[in-house]
Amino acid sequence: MRQSQTIEDELKRTNRALRLLSASNQTLLRAHDESALLYDVCQISTEIGGYSLSWIGYKELDDELSVRPAAHCGHDDGFLSVAKMSWADGEHGFSAMSTAIRTGTTQLRHDILNDPRLITWHEDARSRNYQSAIALPLKVDGKTIGAIAIYAPEPNAFQSEEIALLEELTSDLSFGIETIRLRMAHEHANARIHRLAFYDSLTGLPNRNYLSSLLADAITIARENSSQLALLLLDLDYIREINESYGHETGDKILVKVAQKLRELSDDNCMIARFGGDDFIVICQQNNPNKAISLAKHILEAIKQPFLIDAHSFSIGGSIGIALYPGDADNPTDLLSRADLAMSKVKETGGGYRLYKSKMSHALIRKLEIVHRLESAVSEGNLQLHYQPKVDLHSAMIVGAEALLRWHDPVLGAISPAEFIPIAEGRGLMIQIGEWVLRTACQHIKLWNERGLSYRGRIAVNVSARQLDDPYFIERVARVLEEVGVSPSTIELELTESCLMGDPGRMSEIMAELRCQGFSIAIDDFGTGYSSLVYLKRIPIDTLKIDQTFVKNMLDDNNDSAIISTILAIAQQMGLTTVAEGVETEEQRQALLQLGCGLGQGYYFCRPESVESFTEKLLKNSCPLSASL
Confidence category of residue 16, pLDDT binned at 50, 70, 90: low
Q: Provide DSSP, 86-103.
A: BSSSSTT--SHHHHHHHH
User: Which residues make Cβ contacts (< 8 Å) with residue 414, sequence separation at least 6?
Assistant: 406, 407, 408
CA distance 551 to 143: 86
- SS3 of residue 327 by DSSP: coil
Task: Show the domains of the chain with their CATH numbers.
Answer: 2-186 (3.30.450.40), 208-362 (3.30.70.270), 382-620 (3.20.20.450)
What is the pLDDT at residue 2? 47
Contact 386, 408 (CB under 8 A): no
CA distance 66 to 87: 6
Contact 555, 587 (CB under 8 A): yes
What is the pLDDT at residue 344? 85
CA distance 146 to 461: 79
What is the pLDDT at residue 160? 84
Q: Phi and psi for 402 in degrees, rounded to 5?
A: -110, 130
What percentage of the chain has pLDDT greater than the value 70? Answer: 90
CA distance 7 to 19: 18
Is the Cα dihedral 445, 446, 450, 452 positive or negative? positive
What is the pLDDT at residue 323? 93
- SS3 of residue 262 by DSSP: helix
The model's pLDDT over 86-96, given as tens digits with 9 standing for 90+, comes to: 999 887 789 99
- For 553, what's the count of Cα atoms within 13 Å in the CB-facing half-sphere? 8
Q: How confident is the model over 362-379, as a mean pLDDT?
A: 80
What is the pLDDT at residue 411? 86
With CA atoms as reference, report the closest residue to 144 among 59, 70, 42, 28. 59
Q: What is the mean pLDDT of the chain?
A: 86
Choose the most confident range, by mean pLDDT, from 51-60, 171-180, 206-215.
Answer: 51-60
- For 207, what's the count of Cα atoms within 13 Å in the CB-facing half-sphere? 14
Report CA 196 to chain centroid distance, whole Å: 13
Choose the most confident range, by mean pLDDT, from 41-45, 181-185, 551-555.
Answer: 551-555
For residue 259, pLDDT beyond 90: yes
What single letter denotes the amino acid at residue 458? Answer: R
Q: How confident is the model over 278-298, as a mean pLDDT?
A: 90
What is the pLDDT at residue 32? 80
Neighbours of 469 (CB within 10 A): 14
What percentage of the chain has pLDDT greater than the value 90? Answer: 42
E strands, 294-337, in order = 307-309, 312-314, 318-325
The model's pLDDT over 371-404, given as tens digits with 9 standing for 90+, comes to: 888 888 888 889 999 999 999 999 888 889 999 9
CA distance 550 to 548: 5
Confidence category of residue 629, pLDDT binned at 50, 70, 90: very low
E strands, 326-444, in order = 352-355, 383-392, 398-409, 413-415
CA distance 556 to 552: 9
Contact 322, 339 (CB under 8 A): yes
What is the pLDDT at residue 599? 95
What is the pLDDT at residue 533? 63
pTM of the model: 0.51
What is the pLDDT at residue 169? 85
Confidence category of residue 11, pLDDT binned at 50, 70, 90: low
Q: Phi and psi for 461 in degrees, rounded to 5?
A: -120, 125
What is the pLDDT at residue 626? 37
DSSP designation for 163: H
- SS3 of residue 285 by DSSP: strand
Q: Which residues are paired to 280 by β-bridges?
A: 234, 274
- SS3 of residue 432 by DSSP: helix
Q: Which helix (H) or strand (E) holds 607?
A: none
For residue 212, pLDDT beyond 90: no
